[in-house]
A and B are shown apart, each in its own frame.
Chain A
Amino acid sequence: MDLFLRGSPLVAVATILATRSWVTHVFLGLVVLALTVPLGRVFCGWVCPLGSTLDVVHKISLRKRKELKKPSPTRWRWVKFAILVGILVGAALGTQMLWPFDPIVILTRTADVALYPLFTIAVSSLLAVMVRVPFLEGAAYRAYSFLHAAWFPLQQPSFRLVELFFVLFVVILALEKASSRFWCRNLCPLGALLGFFSQFRLLHRQVDESCTACGLCRARCRMNAVEDDYVTTSAVECIACGECVSVCAPRATHYAFRKPARSGTVDLDRRRFMGATVASLATVGLLGIGFADRGRRGSVIRPPGALPEADFLDRCVRCQECVKVCSSTGGCLQPSLWESGLIGLWTPVAKPREGYCEYNCNLCGQVCPTGAIQRLPLEVKQRTKMGLAFFDKSRCIPWYRGEDCLVCEEHCPVPDKAIRFDQRMVRRPDGSEGLVKLPYVVEELCIGCGICATKCPVVGQGGIFLTNANEQRWIDSQFSSQ
């Protein structure tokens, strides 16, 4: 998944454009883009995992239909170009908007926070049933040990927005019912980008005289790239999947580096181009003036090593790789809702009451495909402040009830303890008096990892909470480009 993300040309182009800087992480994406010029959209036909998924879905759902069908309309093809124009205009203005649309990101996101947990929960539930059956019990526990050793999260992770991600994904799959590769033909901005460069391709579909005009190639073409004469092929839309070659009974079709009869238009007229541009400008403007109040902004706690907010938003493609990897350790990261406005939707935020940043872990920076989270060495990460903890004295057990607790202090991973306590005589609500250890935060030492808030035993809202006060966000050339 990671390799695909790094190889997505759209991620590469949009990230470089939005950040106006060279981003080493996405180099592979540019290589793929460069290959498109000679070869055409082979990425779409042979590499794209979402495309392959759609092909499989198509095969399964429409297995029975073998007869020739009328090719579906081509009138929606322009939409993908409009989306691409919108993304690129936005990126040129410094606002990265590819994250809802990039196919690799969509697939990664869905797989990470919805499909993978669905899979693990299915397996775990099966094992839980096996455990109840006497003669299967031993096998079940051996399976648990095996899976836990490397594969599975020890705690079943749960994420916000999984339902939404899953539904959006299912919608894309369901569009296969309308036509094969509906997403790739009409909506995919990555396909549009590759299609644009694909105009200049050198590898073309060739049809020789033995063609019997049976029409099978036109009917079976996933992308509806073959035209009525069965010879002319759209250089923009053809993904070189080779279906036409394999169905051609007289073997009249093949691919070669030779100029053939072709059409090479990008289906976007000037009016629609302008429309997309204006829509993009409006979106960028609206995102820019989108309002997030101070309370919500203060709760946006970013993973350690996250770039300064503006750069972070430009780079983060919302793939949820960090969110997933975090769930296997401390489990603090979640896709954001409205904390940082619509512009920050689905970006990773730490939710310290739900999980904490593991002191000896820097995995989020390691998996980030665009460097939105820098790859910090462990020693650097351990002193990078994500936020600051505050006691809520009306909810903290020693403060409001006059009884010792100190679970927060016990778990504080800072070697010199960022949570300490004063032992004082206090009068309890019942009138009795006693010595109580009253905790406080040492602001200079607190790194905002949030384990105190996670482990606080108070029911509901905890006796200690975090804001992003004191957060350290900086670009260090040493860590931002690996």
Chain B
Amino acid sequence: MNRREFLVKSAACLAAGACAGPWARLASLAKAQPAVDLAVVQGPSPRANVRKAISLLGGISAFVRRGDVVVVKPNMAWDRLPEHAANTDPEVVAEIVRLCLEAGARKVKVFDRTCNEARRCYLRSGIQKAAEKEGAEVPFVLEQRFVKMSIPEGEELKSWLFYRDAVEADVLINVPVLKSHSVSGLTIGLKNLMGILGGDRGQLHHRFDKKIVDINTVVRPQLTLLDATRVLLRNGPQGGNLRDVQQMDTVVAGVDRVAVDAYGAVLFGRDPAQLGFLVEAQRRGLGVLDVKRLRVEKVSLAA
């Protein structure tokens, strides 16, 4: 046996071994492979939009199985009302919670490490009330529950503090809101995961593009659902002017989080290829940036 044979054979053995164990899991994933990459649903009811978008991706059971602990991560970082579009729409979050519990999830947790005082954000975003009404737990983030994790693929960051509940969850569903942001250009899904980070997050703002991708190499949400019900066009990420908000009544859902963000950029009227963090994410193999290469299903729901 020469060296090349040895390498090929051992690689084959490893691959076989790796496949044999979680075969059932792989099979179920294969079955859940959605027919489309991105579901884009526009309509007057945020809840109906969410339901349709998820059903286009193969239904919630493609992501959530009986007994799973699900973390739904909205953006509720700011002490602003839903109409300011600084936070994810509460109806969107509530509908996802409902679907997860219907699919048999053991527990659904909704939380965010906020920028303003947490109680104000939880209350005034409307998310706490809406999600709790559907049966979710909406706990405040505790500093003691951040764990330091290494970032093996990190180029700028080698380790950071991550929230234990988010990392340990069986399923993580990222539910960002589409809005403007001066540093990154836009804040969408990849950036929304900053809400599960501890420590001094301000440190992430310089060389942001690389750092946010570093973070996303560790945390991989199974589903990203972008809320573009209302979009904050200027003065993000917290806004405050109703005239900066545009009603778009749209949700975008997909497994490929780079693709969801890229589609969000297009919705916003920006070229995804001009957004540094998306280019970086594609370069590092996190997903597809070119929306034209994707199977996008657009649906318009009537009132």
Q: Which residues of A contact B (CB under 8 A)?
A: 128, 131, 141, 144-145, 148, 154-155, 328-330, 358-361, 397, 401, 403-407, 409-411, 413-417, 421, 437, 455-457
Contact = CB atoms under 8 A, between A and B. Distances in A.
B119 A405 contact: no
A128 B181 CA distance: 37
Given A330-B117, A421-B182, A416 B241 contact: yes
Nearest to A409: B182
Contacts of A415: 235, 239-241, 244
B183 interface: yes
Given A358-B116, A416-B241, A145 B139 contact: yes
Contacts of B203: 457
A147 to B, nearest CB: 10
Contact of A358 (B79, B207, B240): B79
Interface in B101-132: 115-120, 124
Contacts of A131: 144
B79 A359 contact: yes
A407 B208 CA distance: 11
Given A358-B116, A410-B237, A416-B235, A457 B182 contact: no
Nearest to A403: B206
B115 A411 contact: yes
A131 B145 CA distance: 10
A404 B206 contact: yes
B87 to A, nearest CB: 13
A397 B117 contact: no
A55 to B, nearest CB: 37
Given A154-B140, A417-B235, A437-B182, A455 B202 contact: yes
Given A144-B142, A358-B120, A457 B183 contact: no
Contacts of A358: 79, 116-117, 120
Contacts of B202: 405, 407, 455-457
Contact of A360 (B79, B206, B237): B79
Contacts of A421: 182
Q: Which 3 A-B pairs have the closest CB atoms?
A: A457-B202, A415-B240, A407-B202
B182 A406 contact: yes
Is chain A's binding surface mostly helix, strand, loop or mixed?
A: loop
B207 A403 contact: yes
Nearest to A156: B143
A315 to B, nearest CB: 27
Nearest to B116: A358
B200 interface: yes
Given A145-B139, A406-B182, A457 B200 contact: yes
A397 B204 CA distance: 12
B205 interface: yes
Contacts of B88: none
A221 to B, nearest CB: 49
B71 to A, nearest CB: 15
B238 interface: yes
B140 A329 contact: no
Contacts of B239: 415
A405 B183 contact: yes
B191 to A, nearest CB: 11
A323 B166 CA distance: 34
B119 A154 contact: yes
23 contacts: A131-B144, A141-B142, A144-B140, A148-B140, A154-B119, A154-B140, A155-B143, A358-B79, A359-B116, A360-B124, A397-B206, A401-B206, A405-B183, A410-B181, A411-B238, A413-B238, A414-B240, A415-B235, A415-B241, A416-B235, A416-B241, A417-B235, A456-B202
A405 B184 CA distance: 10
A117 to B, nearest CB: 16
Interface in B247-275: none
B124 to A, nearest CB: 7
A289 to B, nearest CB: 41
A68 B238 CA distance: 70
Contacts of B237: 410
B112 to A, nearest CB: 13
A155 B140 CA distance: 11
A405 B205 contact: yes
B79 A405 contact: no
Given A406-B205, A457-B202, A329 B120 contact: yes
